[in-house]
């Protein structure tokens, strides 16, 4: 993967997602390439924007910005790894191709609209609706990619996508909660947070 291909993929996911998913499936990028060229840089930017636009469920943590960045960035990247492993393991049950590489790419690239939406919404509170729009388009992209990248039959795509999304978001919540608890202990915020309840 190179920078030109990355730009082509990002543009294609918004303009012609079907052709782009076929291109990604044919290239079969190693997960390390996807991680280095796409996941880390874009999630770094998105997580940095996230510390200025903390979701309501994390506001009560009252963590310093550097710790909040660490929780958001590390939690999301780790969740992609864990969920990619779990989703790849269940793929044969849906008559699809078991491939950690392709599953990791599918999840990472599906996040594209969420990443850009978080960057845009961090500019002003009026733009918060972009986060919802990004999430909806992410789910659509993932659903579309399941058939083209992993070969899931069309009549099983919806069920597979729903279960996969549940796995992905559950992994993110659990990992982020674990990292947040570590951050709270290291920053000495535990007593302050407990006193709020």
Domain count, the chain: 1
Q: Quote the pLDDT of residue 107.
A: 95
pTM: 0.83
pLDDT one-digit tens code per residue, 52-63? 555 444 444 566
Q: Quote the pLDDT of residue 14.
A: 92
What's the mean pLDDT in 36-41?
Answer: 88
pLDDT one-digit tens code per residue, 123-174? 667 777 888 888 899 999 999 999 999 999 999 999 999 999 999 999 988 9
DSSP the chain: --HHHHHHHHHHHHH-HHHHHHHHHHHT--HHHHIIIIIHHHHHHHHHHHTTS--HHHHTT---HHHHHHHHHHHHHHHHHHHHHHHHHHGGGGT----HHHHHHHHHHHTHHHHHHHHHHTT-GGGGHHHHHHHHHHHHHHHHHHHHHH---GGGHHHHHHHHHHHHHHHHHHHHHHHHHHHHHHHT-HHHHHTT-
pLDDT one-digit tens code per residue, 53-112? 554 444 445 667 777 778 888 888 899 999 999 999 999 999 999 999 999 999 999 999
Expressed as residue numbers, the domain containing 59 is 3-194
Q: Quote the pLDDT of residue 53.
A: 55
Residue 197's pLDDT band (boundaries 50, 70, 90)? very low
pLDDT above 50 for 196: no
């Amino acid at each position: 993967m190179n920078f030109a291909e990355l730009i082509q993929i990002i543009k294609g996911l918004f303009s012609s997602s079907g052709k782009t998913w076929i291109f990604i499936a044919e290239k079969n990028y190693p997960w390390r390439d996807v991680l280095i060229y796409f996941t880390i840089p874009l999630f770094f930017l998105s997580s940095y924007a996230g510390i200025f636009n903390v979701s309501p469920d994390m506001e009560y943590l009252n963590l310093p910005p550097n710790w909040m960045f660490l929780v958001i960035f590390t939690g999301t990247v780790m969740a992609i790894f864990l969920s990619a492993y779990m989703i790849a393991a269940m793929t044969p049950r849906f008559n699809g191709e078991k491939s950690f590489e392709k599953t990791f790419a599918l999840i990472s690239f599906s996040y594209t609209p969420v990443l850009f939406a978080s960057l845009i919404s961090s500019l002003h509170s009026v733009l918060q609706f972009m986060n919802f729009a990004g999430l909806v388009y992410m789910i659509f992209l993932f659903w579309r990619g399941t058939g083209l990248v992993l070969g899931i039959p069309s009549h099983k795509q919806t069920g597979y996508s729903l279960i996969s999304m549940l796995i992905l978001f559950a992994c993110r919540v659990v990992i982020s909660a674990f990292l947040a608890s570590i951050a709270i202990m290291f920053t000495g915020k535990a007593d302050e947070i407990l006193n709020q309840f």
